[in-house]
Amino acid sequence: GAVVSQHPSWVICKSGTSVKIECRSLDFQATTMFWYRQFPKQSLMLMATSNEGSKATYEQGVEKDKFLINHASLTLSTLTVTSAHPEDSSFYICSAKELAGRYNEQFFGPGTRLTVL
């Protein structure tokens, strides 16, 4: 149980284009989903927190107009990187908190490798 999927697993795009990444909780309902960014050999950096049906809360320094987050249902959140540039190349990971879950347990997706040329 508690499986989170991400799609795509990797994407290569040209500079200036937009890329959408999907995060789904497959076997549970998620009240809250999180988006992280991870650079090579570094820890996870929280970008934003989203609750179903409401606006995402962005961490300081994260451009909300560049990283658009939509949490349309209790099982789906999307991250759109708008007008992507090479510096946006990174490993993006989502996680989800179960609606009926205990404590603050977060279940992570497998990640999406974004490469912007």
Rounded to the nearest 5 degrees, what angle is found at the Cα of 87, between the Cα atoms of 86 and 92?
100
Region from 11-19, 70-78, 79-87, 104-112 binding other proteins, contact rule CB under 8 A: 104-112
Q: How far is the CB of 104 from other proteins (least distance, A)?
A: 4
Report in angstroms the alpha-carbon separations of 82 from 38, 79, 85, 94. Answer: 18, 9, 9, 18
Q: How far is the CB of 94 from other proteins (least distance, A)?
A: 8
For other proteins, give the closer residue by CB, 32 or 75.
32
Residues interacting with other proteins, by CB under 8 A? 4, 6, 32, 34, 41-44, 46, 49, 91, 93, 95, 97, 103-111, 113
